[in-house]
Every structure is written in C-alpha cells, then in structure tokens.
Amino acid sequence: MPDPSPIFDLATGYWRSAAFLAAANTGVFEALADGADTPSGVAARLGTDPRATHMLLDACTAMGLLVRHDEAFALTDTAQMFLVPGSPAYLGSALKWSSDQYEPWGRLADAVRRGRPVVDMAAHLGDDPDQTRAFVLGMHERALGVARGVVGYLNIGDARDLLDVGGGPGTYSMLLAQRYASLRATVLDLPGVIRWTRKLVGDAGLDDRVSVVAGDAMVGDYGVSTYDAVLFSGVLHQMSEASIRRMFAGAIRALRPGGVVLISDIMMAPDGSGPLFATLFALQMLLTTAEGGVFRSNACERWLVEAGFVSVTSRVLPPPMPYTVVQGERA
C-alpha cells in the first residue's frame, strides 16, 4: 500500500508559512533582536497572549528560526540576519509582500475555475500608493537575495548604454552599474513604480549612472539604435506571448548593431516538466496578472530568433538561483 504521508504533508504545508508569517507580522524576531527571552517576556513586549506566544515560539524553533535555552528563546544566525529590522539584509518588505499574497492563494480554486486573477494587479503597479511601495521595495529585497549571483551570468560585453525594460526597483541596473564602471543604465517602468525606483537609486548614490524613465514596457517603443544592451529581468512572466513578441521587436529596434538582449526569468524546462518552483510561480501569475505565466526556455529562444536576433543561447543557472538566462545579438 502506498504511503499517504506525502499527501498529508501537502495538505498541511501551509501551516509552516502561516506560522512563520504570523511570527514576522507580530514582531517576534524584532522582540528577540537584543537577546534571548522567555515566552512571557516576548508576549509582554508584543502585547500578545503568553500561552499562544509560547506555541508560536515552539513552532519557530522547530522550523530552525529560533533556538531554545532552558525556558528562553533566541534567534538563529539566519533569523538575526534576515528577519530583524535594521539589519543590512533585512527582508521585511519582501515578507510583507508574501504575507499579502496569502489570502489570494486561498482563492486559487476560484482563479482556476474562472481563468482570471483574483486581485487587481494595477493596485501594486501605481493605483494604490501603499501597495505599490510594498511591492517595489519587496521586489528589491527579494532581488538582492539572488541578483548578486545572477549578474555574473549577464554578459553585456563592452556595453556602455543599457535599457532595463520593466526594471521595477532597478536592482539589476544598480548592480550592473557597480560591476561595470563605464556602464550607464536606464530603468523603464510605470510612473507609480519609478517613484520608488528613483528613491532606491538615490539611496544607492547612483543617480549619475542609473536614470529612471516612465513608460509602458508592453508597448515595445524603446527608441531606435539607442542602446548596446537591453535587459528583461523578471518582467516577461507577467506578459502574454503576443506582448513578449512585441517587446522583443522593440528591443531589436532599440539596439545598435552588435548589441545584446538578455532575458533573466523563471522559465519551464523545454519539455514543460518543471521545475516545481516554476510551476507554482505560474499559479502566482494566474492569481495576480491578466495574461502572465511561465514560458519554456526554448519558446523564449524561438521568439528571439523570429524577432531577428542571432547567436541565441540559454543557460539554466545553478541552485539556489531559480532563473534561466537567454541571450541574443542584433546582427
């Protein structure tokens, strides 16, 4: 008889996320930032119920986020680095974004039945200032966790002018500008988004190297023979095939001869068999976008070739980076 344990693990898998996000949202990790404390001490700081707080601390310990010293609990090194406000690697905005996604995921069956998103994507792309701020800052923090590894695989050659299409927080443009001293980057995104991009670029002291321009990336109007490199990083999964083809046509027009186009995104294997994260991320796009999804890497290659690019290659990046990089050249 088959073992049903994997079925039960799947059925209760959300318990872990719910416990973790509850700890983050109630301030557990911040309360323990200065040292170990008892459940009653933590509860007194947070204004929470002592018995319930004890249960939550036990769960966080079992998940490897806390350690126990007799009756007191303390942060692990991982929690201290990523979950405490004020830490350079704090992921607070990213966790806020993840917490905001919890309710929509509970409506996944409804999205599958209707074939439509259950949230208004425009809200976090400028219509709602608070949601937009949380989204942009959350994407920046999430990107920083991976982008430092990804940029080493973005071969821009001797490019001096780069367009970052739908660049959101501008994380990749900033990291590339820091890596290549002669590079100037332009981040193109919606007006409500770039309000926060501009602040992040200014905070990084890169105003003179990274510019920010308002526009709709889906239109595909990026200029003519203006750039040496065009980057699509983590933006195309929000688009339909028709939109992506239009954007690739805009990219080849915008590039100077010999220029490169680079796509860094979550992609399916050529046979569509996975990986698991990509299949689940496709459902995230179903929940939150009108036409987004996760395309296969070989489809991306084909669209580039049909747009006129040559020397098209793709590379699946090593774990833990969940990305594939596809690159082509304008002849």
Structure token digits, residue 2: 């088959």
Q: Which pair of tokens denotes residue 213?
A: 């321009």
Cα gap 72→279, rounded to integer Å:
40
- In angstroms, the CA 18 to CA 82 distance is 18
What is the spatial distance between Cα 82 and Cα 33, in angstroms, rounded to a whole number?
11
> Is the backbone peptide bond immediately before 275 cis, with ω within 30 degrees of 0?
yes
Residue 141 has phi, psi (to 5 degrees) of -65, -40
Instruction: Please indicate whether residue 54 is annotated as part of the active site.
Output: no
Backbone angles phi, psi at 325, to 5 degrees: -110, 125
Range 203-209 contact pairs with CB under 8 angstroms and sequence separation of 24 or more:
204/174, 206/174, 206/177, 206/178, 209/177, 209/183, 209/184, 209/185
Closest CA to 64 of 6, 15, 20: 20
Set 54, 69, 124, 237: catalytic member: 237
Q: Which of 112, 170, 181, 115 has its CA nearest to residue 144? A: 170
Kindly compute the dihedral angle of the four CA atoms of residues 188, 194, 196, 199, in this order, to the nearest 10 degrees.
Answer: 70
Q: Which of 190, 199, 152, 143 is nearest to 171 (CA)?
A: 143
* Residues known to be catalytic: 237
